[in-house]
Amino acid sequence: MTKSPLILFAFLPAVFALLLSACGESPENPEGGKKVSALKINGSTTVNLPVAEAAEVMRERTGKEIQVDTQGGSSGGISMLGEGLVHLGMASKSLSDEDRKKFPECDFNEIQIGADAVALIVSKDVWSGGKTTITKKEMAGIYEGNITNWNQIGGPDQRIAFFNKEPGRGTWEVFAKWAYGSAGDTPQASFPEVGGNEETRNKVASTRGALSQLSASWADGKTVFALSVKTEDGKLIKPSGENIATGAYPMSRPLFVLSDGDPSGDAREMINFLLSIEGQKIVRKHGYLALADLSK
């Protein structure tokens, strides 16, 4: 028997050990003095747009490694920060007491970087079929399964293909709060679910009679169209920047970057940049409201 297979075997445990140690080295201590190779950020696809671009700029300027992911949306950002897997979370909703209770060891710190609205978007055939507004009652009727065709509420004769944002998404929670007061009070319903903003836009655009909830800045007016909300006194309110800033549009929401306690080091730098004039310009560029727009 030659020696070579034996040598190979001898190497395997070494490889194992290497793998194990590599796993253990992930950022267990995001803020502490330990040197961490990359700044890790995870969360909402909505907040991701400006943050990812800011990360791009930071990377170029400082040469630092920054990873921005969107696993699981807002609740993914909250839970990964809570577990210490990332340095910063991104969320397009306010943290609930429940979220805080789940991770008692994490001192969640919400840093608002802008604001956005949730739009109810429809596909082109619905829009050009004359359905451009929606009331809370109509939306509830669709959600509860009493309204299944657009012609029941003044639209074209087409079945309503409602794509529900999956639970845990900031978009869904804002929608639920508007339609039913809170996520817990929302009735039991099972619809096809969509996750990130890209998936939502793509699926609504390619389906006849489609309806879904989507970040207003993603409603491009070419493939998907944002319905105006009709209030009880008959006022039509578009999800426009002005209506979000004044609070007239009912489904607006703050955009947050989350940190565990007071951010320091690279995380601090990232947040400072997002709050700087330059960072706020990036927020505005993606169709969101900058902080200055809100205080107007």
Partner 1 sequence: MTRSALNPSCRRWSITLILSWLFTGVALAAVVGGLGLLLIESAPAWKHSGFEFVIGKKWFFRQSEFGAAPMIYGSIIVAILAMILAAPVGIGAAIFGVEYLPRKWRLGLKVTVELLAGIPSVVYGLLGILLLRNWIYEVFQDFDPLSGDTLLTAGVLLGLMILPTIMTLADDALRGVPGTLRLAARGLGLTATETALHVSVPQAFPGLLAAVLLALGRAMGETIAVFLVIGRQDNQWPSSILSLKPLLESGQTLTSKLGGSETNIAYGQPLHWGAIMGLGLVLLSLVVIITLTGAWLQRISFRQHQQHS
Residue with tokens 């290497």: 18
Question: Which CB atom, from 176 or from 274, has the smaller least distance to partner 1?
Answer: 176
User: Minimum Å distance from CB 44 to partner 1?
Assistant: 11
User: Minimum Å distance from CB 207 to partner 1?
Assistant: 4
User: Minimum Å distance from CB 203 to partner 1?
Assistant: 7
Question: Which CB atom, from 123 or from 243, has the smaller least distance to partner 1?
Answer: 123
Of 185, 203, 189, the closest CA to residue 148 belongs to 189
Question: Which CB atom, from 185 or from 278, has the smaller least distance to partner 1?
Answer: 185
Binding region for partner 1 (CB under 8 A): 1, 5-6, 9-10, 12, 72-73, 75-76, 79, 82-83, 101-103, 159, 161, 163, 166-169, 183-184, 186, 188, 190-195, 199, 202-203, 206-207, 209-210
Question: Which CB atom, from 48 or from 79, has the smaller least distance to partner 1?
Answer: 79
d(C-alpha 165, C-alpha 170), whole Å: 9
User: Minimum Å distance from CB 52 to partner 1?
Assistant: 19
Structure tokens, 242 = 């002005």
d(C-alpha 266, C-alpha 51), whole Å: 14
d(C-alpha 43, C-alpha 73), whole Å: 5
Question: Which CB atom, from 3 or from 222, has the smaller least distance to partner 1?
Answer: 3
Read off φ and ψ for residue 251, nearest 5 degrees.
-105, 55
Q: E strands, the chain, where? A: 38-43, 65-69, 88-91, 108-123, 133-135, 161-165, 193-194, 210-215, 224-226, 228-230, 236-237, 252-260
Structure tokens, 108 = 């969640």
d(C-alpha 292, C-alpha 295), whole Å: 6
Question: Which CB atom, from 44 or from 243, has the smaller least distance to partner 1?
Answer: 44
d(C-alpha 285, C-alpha 58), whole Å: 17
User: Minimum Å distance from CB 218 to partner 1?
Assistant: 17
User: Minimum Å distance from CB 223 to partner 1?
Assistant: 13
User: Minimum Å distance from CB 202 to partner 1?
Assistant: 7
Q: Could you tell me the end-to-end alpha-carbon distance of the chain, in angstroms, rounded to an integer?
A: 82
Question: Which CB atom, from 85 or from 248, has the smaller least distance to partner 1?
Answer: 85
